[in-house]
Structure 1
Amino acid sequence: MAIKYEWQGDFDDASLNRLHADGFGSPVAQTDWQARLERHSLGWVCARENGNLIGFVNVVWDGGAHAFILDTVVARHLRSRGVGAALVAVAAKEARAAKCEWLHVDFEEHLRSFYFDACGFRETAAGLIAL
């Protein structure tokens, strides 16, 4: 069956918490995603296969020109099939439609090829303080 991508798609917190645990190799959390997204997000993209949540990306913003993608995750068994790049493409399209001028991303070094080659981001100078 085809994978379906939906801007601001419906999800339940338990499904998204399980997806994050699978995708990031961590214990299942009890994050209240609905409240978090309502407070901070321009939107999000859900990927579903056979009705199951198999991918997600959060698009936060500054209320103006800058949007940021966070929490990009794909179920482990579906990695390297273009799901993550498709999630980011929908996120970029919707951020552009919201009149954002820039889409930012931070990532760990092992994800460099994904974000630069598969998603089309370009390298920029940036700074970070570990808190």
Structure 2
Amino acid sequence: MAGASSAVRATLTDAQLVTLTEAHGGRAEPGWWDRAKRHSLGWVSAHDGDTLVGFANVAWDGADHAFLLDPKVHGDWQHRGIGTELVRRARDAARDAGCEWLHVDFEPHLRPFYFDACGFASTDAGLIRFTAS
């Protein structure tokens, strides 16, 4: 991770996640991290000093299945290997916790990242969307 340090289960604030989400180009929802972290198997973060520049969350079913959620890298820090390293460390944490599977879903333009850079395989899956975008 060129220029950034990483941590597993670092103390992160909701405000840091809001700032990172907005810098990544996403829609931040204040209060999200305060609600989500208690359901998490773990998370991995990348930092430039005190600044959060990358994040990946791993939720789970309490047994065999883990779910990679919300991976993001600050726009100014992309294309430096940070996202790939965050996913690798999240994968390792899920495996080390005894999970058999790590699931991820993503937009089509991210296929090369998840399949080529991170080693995920294509699989059939189903999805029900409850809200319109």
Post-superposition offset of 1:51: 2.3
- Mapped to 1, the partners of 2:62 and 2:26 lie a distance apart of 32
Equivalent position amino acid for 2:53 in 1: I
Q: Equivalents in 1 of 2:110, 2:32: separation in Å?
A: 26
- Structure 2 match to 1:115: 114
CA distance in 2, matches of 1:111, 1:32: 24
1:104 corresponds to which residue?
103
- 1:55-104 Cα offsets, whole Å, 9 max, x none, are 00110000000000010010001111111110000001110110001100
Shift of the 108–32 alpha-carbon distance from structure 1 to 2, 3 Å rule, reads closer
Can you list the C-alpha shifts for 1:27-75, whole angstroms capped at 9, x where unaligned? x43124133211x110111110122100001100000000000100100
1:12 aligns with 2:44: no
TM-score by length of 1: 0.92
Segments of structure 2 that go 5 or more residues without pairing to the other structure are none
Aligned to 2:35: 35
User: CA-atom RMSD, angstroms?
Assistant: 1.4
**2:8 alignment partner AA:** W
Q: How does 1:14-93 map to 2 (within 5 A)?
A: 14-26=15-27, 28-38=28-38, 40-93=39-92
The runs of 4+ residues in structure 1 deviating greater than 4 Å are none
Q: Which runs of 5+ in 1 are unaligned?
A: none
Aligned mates of 2:29, 2:94 — CA distance in 1: 28
CA distance in structure 2 between the aligned counterparts of 1:95 and 1:117, rounded to whole angstroms: 20
Structure 1 residues 126, 14: closer, same or farther in 2, change over 3 A?
A: same
> Does the C-alpha gap of structure 1 residues 54 and 125 become closer, same or farther in structure 2, counting only changes over 3 Å?
same
Between the aligned residues of both structures, percent identity stands at 47
Please tell me whether the aligned partners of residues 21 and 29 of structure 1 are also in contact (alpha carbons under 8 angstroms).
no
